[in-house]
Amino acid sequence: MLDDFRVEWLCRRTCQMLNIDRSIFIDMLERHNGFNEDHIDKFLTTNTALHERSYALIFHREDSKREVWQLIETIDEEELNDLDDDETDQQFILNINQPINIETEFSIDYVMNYARLSSGDSIDSAYEYLKTIQRLLVMNQYDNKNYYFELKSYRETHLYCEYYHYHNLTKKTFVYFIRTDIQQYLIQSSTFDEMNLIMNENITYGFIPEEQPLVSLVEILSLIYHDILPSVNQQSSTNELMSSSNETLTQRDQLQLGLNRFRLHIKSTLRQMQGEFNLTIPNRDLLVSGDETDEEYVENFEFIVYNWERILQEEMNNELNRRVLNSSPLAELEFWHERSIRITSILEQMKKDDVMKIIRVLTNIDSPSLSGFNNIKLQLQSYLLEATDNYKFLLTIDRHLKILQMEKSFQTIIHMLPNLMQGLKTIWTMSKYYNKDERFVPLMEKIANEIINRVQQKIDIKTLLSSYTLNEAEQFCYQSKQLLLQWKIEYQNTRAKLENDKHSFSTWNFEHRILFDKTDYLSQICDDLIRMLSNLNEFYDIFGLEMKAVTGDEQMVDRVLEHVAGLKNSFLSCHFDMFNRENSQQWHSFIEEFNHRSSIIEQEAKIFIRASFTQLRSAETAFDMLMKFQKIDTTHVLAYEMVRQFTAILLQYCKEIDGTYDLFVKYKDNPPIFKVNI
């Protein structure tokens, strides 16, 4: 094991990924007077105080073939004479004057430069037959002995390290190591196990194959970073809805969305490079020579074109049958971008040199076989233009759609809706594809569904009540209701503008049920939740510490609060989707049950309040408490019940005044004096 556990960790990972022996890694460290060790040391010790960015540490292997002449045996005079008599056995003869031992080797270049053939001819490296000669006779004047050498071949592997400056990595298999936090020093640990944990936490590493480096990049984005970053709008912690973290969450979601889009673009590039299909030519000899007047020659070309026509028609039908799999509006934008790339790839196949050569031959003789081929080409060009235009139009609202999908603040989304509607109005007016109801309405429906999804994620009632105060939960519901209403308001405003525009030939007469049936229903649910959460909140406001101080009956106040807590927990037992209209009957039953239990608590509380205020402990404290409830903007019946207790408070106040007066009369002539013993 290497002394530096950090280098040992790099050694093990590199040897495993490149499938090499650790001796090759150690050889790399020892070469060039420790130059590679310096690279590794810089990688491990770099920090942001000295560098603006970090760099990857790269290791790549190079395999080579080494051929040398090695000693096999010593030859005596008798064997040498036998070799001289064999005229058919051609060999190299090398005369030297130096010591020879078992480790003596001669390179091929040395032999080619200084040896001769046994036939007496000079050596010409251009002769191919020389490669078949496997024997070398060495005549050594140093010890007057003759030796027999044989050509041996060895596979050698060398490891190379690069850092900061990268050279000649194209078309090479390599492994990379990247520090995830260059502010964290990778200090040597006392044991390898400890070092292993530190290195795994602070270094990302991977393997880039020679054949398809982009495939590796797609896998990294899909399997590593895609899982590290939570999905857009996914609530990974209970604090994500807090306004203080909105900016960080938005940046995270933008990074997630950008990475996903980047991954899709790379996959599209791979498809273009590899080709999802190829227009092949069964017999390439036809392209080399042929006579256009030869009927068989032309028929072969026509057969190829008819086969291409079938393949292209099938590919085009497959493309036209593709649908947007994701229901988000951003997915539609990516769909048109992907389609333009796929159709471009098909058209590029039709422009290949071999294909164009066949087309030119058939065009010159006006072959009818080109009719279907050319027709498909025109259709593909038309579909490409459509896909490109649609992508460009949707790109004009891309920023607004990102805000709709990622922005945590509903207030920001509400402010964005007018701009989004203006962009949709422009698309409706200018797009040749989206200016029809059957195409534009599905786009609007996807936007409406995105709003619905955001609201449903925002007001997950179980998460809200377990993680946030009632005031916060009520505020979230109110913001959600405002977003749902604003969507409808902005639609109606834009529709009115189109109707009042004298230059507009078409207006938005879309079916109300498709665009607003779900949003209107969710708005009603938000109203119900706001009312119930407000009711719970007012219960807690009334039966707080002040009520305990006024009444002195803490046990009874706690009992009422237990009933209120049970009412609050009833939301946690709501095991159906309240936002689904199909569950409307269950939701109404839940509301009725909530109202019934709430009224029972109110009646019990009324009795307690009336009884308590008839035997008040302090008129001043009770009066301060009533003043507080008068300032609360509430319609809760218990608040009114509290205000009605002024009479009881005045009676208590009179009792306290009378008691004070009686004490004064009793002790006015001989007031009690507290004496201090000195």
Q: What is the pLDDT of residues 346-356, one digit of tens each?
A: 898 888 888 88
Query: In this structure, which amino acid lies at residue 423?
Result: G
**DSSP strand pairing (135-140 vs 92-96):** parallel
| pLDDT at residue 235 in the model | 44
SS3 401: helix
**Residue 117 DSSP SS3:** strand
Q: Which range, of 45-59, 454-468, 633-647, averages the lowest pLDDT?
A: 633-647
For β-strands 57-75 and 174-179, DSSP reports them as antiparallel
Domain annotation covers residue 436: yes
Identify which of 57-66, 126-135, 258-267, 498-507 has the greatest average pLDDT: 57-66
Residue 626 belongs to some domain of the structure: yes
Residues 476 and 584 in one domain: no
**Residue 297 falls within a domain, yes or no?**
yes
Instruction: Say which residue, 446 or 613, is predicted with more confidence.
Output: 446
Whether the per-residue pLDDT at 654 is higher than 90: the answer is: no
H or E element in which residue 167 lies: none
Instruction: Please say which residue of 395, 410, 437 terminates a domain.
Output: 395
Mean pLDDT, residues 491-508 taken together? 84
Asked if pLDDT for residue 645 goes beyond 70, the answer is no
Closest Cα to residue 349, out of 316, 317, 325, 318? 316
Q: Which of 395, 417, 444 is the last residue of a domain?
A: 395
Q: In 429-560, where do the E strands start and end?
A: none
Kindly report which listed range (281-290, 365-374, 448-457) carries the lowest average pLDDT score.
Answer: 281-290
Q: How confident is the model at residue 181 (pLDDT cuts 50, 70, 90)?
A: confident
Pairing of strands 92-96, 116-117: antiparallel
Nearest to 75 by CA among 151, 153, 143, 121: 143
Ranges 166-170, 306-310, 502-506, 542-546, most confident: 306-310
Contacts of 188 (CB under 8 A, 6+ apart): 4, 5, 6, 195
Residues 45 and 109 in one domain: yes
Over residues 353-376, the mean pLDDT reads 89
Q: Do residues 564 and 543 touch, judged by C-beta distance below 8 A?
A: yes
Contacts of 352 (CB under 8 A, 6+ apart): 279
Q: Indicate if 67 and 207 belong to the same structural domain.
A: yes
Asked if residue 487 belongs to a domain, the reply is yes
Residue-number span of the structural domain to which 459 is assigned: 398-542
Torsion of CA 193, 199, 205, 207, to 10 degrees: -30
CB 267 within 8 A of CB 258: no
Same domain, 163 and 16: yes
- Of the chain, the percentage scoring pLDDT greater than 70 comes to 76
Identify whether 512 is part of a domain.
Answer: yes
Task: Verify that 65 and 163 share a domain, yes or no.
Answer: yes
Specify the number of domains making up the chain.
4
Q: Token pair for residue 61?
A: 């292997």
pLDDT of residue 395: 94
**pLDDT band per the 50, 70, 90 thresholds, residue 669:** confident
Evaluate whether residue 16 is within a structural domain.
yes
Q: Are residues 391 and 403 in the same domain?
A: no
- Specify if 391 maps to a domain: yes
Confidence of residue 126 (pLDDT cuts 50, 70, 90): very low
Average pLDDT across the chain, whole number: 81
Domain ends where: 508, 542, 576? 542
Residues 408 and 520 placed together within one structural domain of the fold: yes
- The overall longest dimension of the chain from CA atoms, in Å, is 158
**For residue 284, which phi and psi values (nearest 5 degrees)?**
-75, -15
Does 341 map to a domain? yes
Beta-carbon contacts of 611 under 8 Å, excluding residues fewer than 6 positions away, are: none
Instruction: Determine the average pLDDT of the residues in 301-319.
Output: 90
Cβ distance 304 to 281 under 8 Å?
yes
Task: Check whether residue 63 and residue 181 sit in a common domain.
Answer: yes
What would the pLDDT profile of 250-306 be if each residue is shown by its tens digit?
666 677 767 777 777 777 666 666 555 677 776 666 665 656 667 777 888 888 899
Closest CA to 607 of 648, 646, 638: 638
Q: Which pLDDT score, from 0 to 100, does residue 292 have?
A: 64
105-107 and 135-140: which strand pairing?
unpaired
If asked whether residues 181 and 33 sit together in one domain, one would say yes
> Domain check: are 575 and 504 in the same one?
no
**Strand 135-140 relative to strand 116-117, pairing:** unpaired
Of 77-91, 236-250, 340-354, 474-488, which has the strongest mean pLDDT? 474-488
**pLDDT at residue 640, rounded to an integer:** 62
Q: What is the pLDDT of residues 417-443, one digit of tens each?
A: 999 999 999 999 999 999 999 999 999
Q: Identify whether residues 137 and 188 lie together within a single domain.
A: yes
Task: Name the DSSP letter for residue 93.
Answer: E
Distance of CA 399 to the CA centre of its chain: 18
Does one domain contain both 422 and 382? Answer: no
